[in-house]
A and B are shown apart, each in its own frame.
Chain A
């Protein structure tokens, strides 16, 4: 049974090895000449301004919550797409109703300006 998932397992192992080998090899082979400038956090080449550990705005949280909700909508679309031919017009109608109800939510989000970055 697990044979069908062998490619995924191989991919996971290769990905883990790639990360591990890169870090280990560079720490073994690479030269180490530490200086205070090198230890600074990288901020697109600019001088770092303040600490990186600042409180994040709730705006990120709002976007993340909306992302989850529409992510769950997508989850429902997968089995529907697989069964689309079998369900026919009936399936189209029920998914249409589902999408329309969520589209009302989408319009609400848009009209309330929750997608604006203010």
Chain B
């Protein structure tokens, strides 16, 4: 086992552990902080997949901005530490579905093989040209229209945020 596989195993273990903590913590703020840890682990995975720009975005947007929003919602609703009440409804069906999905995933991963032609961009190209440049080149030339439409989407979101949260407009 080389160092990279070992590193992946450590980060994966932390990701799974913090993911479990998100749903088992009694205090919602602790859950939110565990979610930050999960996001950081995902950013590390992006780096290992030769996508450093995605990692930076993951940290800036998800671990930064969206977590602030989640914590504000928790404080807005004034969620207290969850009482010791056990939720048992749906546990049986949920676990059966989870086991079935896991089985299905393992089955198809073992059985199938990768098909189709390899893309133009592999790890070597990403390292030589640069991840940010590759994304930028695609976004500002081939996908120009979706990029401009994104600005309209953001505009709609800005107006929606003001109308939803402002008391008197």
Contacts and interface: CB of A to CB of B under 8 A. Distances in A.
**Are chains A and B native binding partners rather than an unrelated pairing?**
yes
Interface of A: 1-2, 5, 53-62, 64-69, 71-73, 75-76, 78-80, 82-83, 86-87, 91, 94, 97-99, 101-102, 104-106, 108-109, 112-114
Interface string B43-56: 00001101001001
Contacts of B104: none
Given A68-B65, A114-B166, 5 more contacts: A61-B76, A68-B68, A72-B154, A83-B133, A94-B144
Given A56-B75, A83-B133, A2 B3 contact: yes
Closest 10 CB pairs of A and B: A79-B136, A105-B158, A62-B165, A101-B151, A65-B161, A83-B136, A56-B75, A68-B65, A55-B78, A105-B155
B151 A109 contact: no
Interface of B: 3-4, 7, 47-48, 50, 53, 56-57, 60-61, 64-66, 68-69, 72-73, 75-78, 80, 127, 130, 132-133, 135-137, 139-141, 144, 147-148, 150-152, 154-155, 157-159, 161-162, 165-166, 169
Main secondary structure of the interface of B (DSSP, over half): helix
A69 B140 contact: no
Contacts, number: 135
Contacts of B141: 87
Contact of B132 (A62, A79, A105): A79
A59 B164 CA distance: 11
Contacts of A57: 76
Contact of B140 (A65, A67, A94, A101): A94
A59 B7 CA distance: 42
Contact of A54 (B78, B130, B161): B78
Contact of B68 (A62, A67, A91): A67
A78 B132 contact: yes
A108 B73 CA distance: 24
A60 B74 CA distance: 12
Given A78-B53, A79-B136, A112-B166, A53 B154 contact: no
A97 B161 CA distance: 22
A98 B152 CA distance: 8
A56 B72 contact: yes
A111 to B, nearest CB: 10
Nearest to B69: A64
Among B7, B166, B169, the one with the most A-chain Cβ atoms within 10 Å of its Cβ is: B166
